[in-house]
Amino acid sequence: MHSGNITIENITKIEGSAGLDVIIENGKVKEVKFKIQDSRRFYTDAVKKKPLISAPSFLSRICGTCSVAHLFATIKAIENSQEIEVTEQTKILRRLAYDALMIRDHALHLYFFVLPDLLGVDSILDIPDDHEDLGHTLLHDSFDIKQLGTDISEVVIGAAIHAPIPTIGGFLKLPDESKFPELIERLEKIRPQVIRGIKAFFNYEASLEQDVDYVALRNENKFDFLEGTLISLDGRKIPSEKFLEHFDVVVVPYSQSEGYVFSDNHENYVLGALARVNLNKDQLNSRTVEDTKEYLKVFPSKNIYHNNLAQAIEILHCVDDAIDILKNIKIVDEKPIKKPIKAGVGIGVIEAPRGTLYHKAVIDENGVVVDYDVIVPTSQNQISIENDLKKYFNENLDKGEEKLKFDAESIIRAYDPCMSCATNFLKIDWIRK
């Protein structure tokens, strides 16, 4: 029986900095403190007084890995504040750019951070240089998958990180269609590699069952990261503009990030790929469904490790969706939609790779940002992460400290948390934890 407290100063193979304290008394877990340690940069305050046109690029700097998510959420919030309705072509190209983000971002998490856990090694650097080794094959698959995500981003939005081309109302420059056939060919070529990854994460036997609800956007017409209504496995339906009425923020005194609970019953919830596939698996691309039938049977799942499998399936969905878009789109020359500046409030709710992302912009009559709010998925998952860890430790204190630490990091990693994102503000009343 493990008796002393357990501390992990720096959890590794995640985005950003976080630590963990587990306080154990009389053979029971008294408290688990998941501490998000990134220093705040106060961007939602720093963006105030800036002209609205500069806000998307500035706020994309909240995060390195999902900067496109913050870019698109900011653009959406500001477009809503200005009552700008973009063209169908803009919507499709944004969807294509978002497919590219998901392919690269999920692959980074799955293959660089989680794969070593699956293989029982410390790092991708420890994977044998042996072409017959599955780990070696999967790792080299990941290089192709990530690179393709990045290359699609470069064609459509100019870069995978802090993309310069998307703007309020549309695109500053339209993609070069002559590059599409090569991308289609590479996407087709990569499908077997992506499916190999899905099989590997399906065979990952780790399990931690949760007693929790799941929340994600759902568009009744298609599997969509950018449009829809928030729904939950327990039957909630939450329009984007009512977001704040349904969630309460909780101050976590030892963490640089707030946590979140449902406002009606104060229960925690989980966001991310697991929530999306739990709630929307019927809408995945038909080719994806055809090739993942066996694996999709596990959903809806309450095993947090299945977030990894859900991400792997989402990569294939995004590959197939990107193929469909690239094959069918005919680019027409158009400029970003512009309207006279007006005062307004706009909300942008989308699905970031790690779950639902909320942006709210308040713009004055001169087109200046006067207030801004951001709620990110990692903050919303924070209390669920702690509850999962508490459950795990209570059930496994008979194990040695090294094993406990390894499993704790694996559980946290399964959520794919991002601390750079998590240290941003929402300005509503706090509940003290």
Partner 1 sequence: MDTAQTKNKKLAIGWFCFTCSEDSTILFTELLNKHFDEWKKIIDFKHIRSLKTKNELKDLDVAFVEGAISSKTQEKEVKKIRDNAKYVVAIGQCACTGMPSASRNSFEDKDIDDRIRWYLEHFDYNKKVQKLEDVIKVDDKVEGCPMNVTKFLTIMDKYLKLFNII
Give the residues lining the site for partner 1 (CB under 8 A). 10, 12-17, 38-43, 45-46, 48, 58, 61-65, 67, 104, 108, 112, 122-126, 129, 139, 143-144, 146-147, 150, 160-162, 253, 256, 409, 420, 425, 427
Determine contact, residues 182/96, Cβ cutoff 8 Å. no
Q: Which two tokens stand for residue 277?
A: 């596939």
Q: Which one, of 103, 65, 2, 134, lies nearest residue 408 by Cα? A: 2
Element (H, E) at 360: strand 355-363
Strand, coil or helix: 251: strand
State how far the Cα of 169 lies from the Cα of 83, in Å rounded to an integer.
10
State how far the Cα of 82 lies from the Cα of 342, in Å rounded to an integer.
6
Determine contact, residues 118/204, Cβ cutoff 8 Å. yes
Beta bridge partners of 349: 358
Q: Which two tokens stand for residue 293?
A: 């039938």
Give DSSP secondary structure letters for 72-96. HHHHHHHHHHTT----HHHHHHHHH
Q: Which one, of 148, 150, 153, lies nearest residue 94 by Cα? A: 153
Angle CA 11–358–258, to nearest 5: 45
CB of 162 to partner 1, least distance (A): 6
- Chain centre to alpha carbon of residue 188: 25
3-state secondary structure 401-413: HHHHHHHHHHHHH
Q: 86 or 389: whose CB is closer to partner 1?
A: 389
Determine contact, residues 248/262, Cβ cutoff 8 Å. yes
Determine contact, residues 65/105, Cβ cutoff 8 Å. yes
- The one-letter amino acid code at 134 reads L
Q: What is the CA radius of gyration of the chain?
A: 21
Element (H, E) at 67: helix 67-81
- Which residues lie closer than 8 Å to 123 by C-beta, 6 or more apart? 13, 116
243-258 as b/e: b if 16+ CB within 10 A: bbebbbbbebeebbbb
- The one-letter amino acid code at 151 reads D
State how far the Cα of 74 lies from the Cα of 52, in Å rounded to an integer.
10
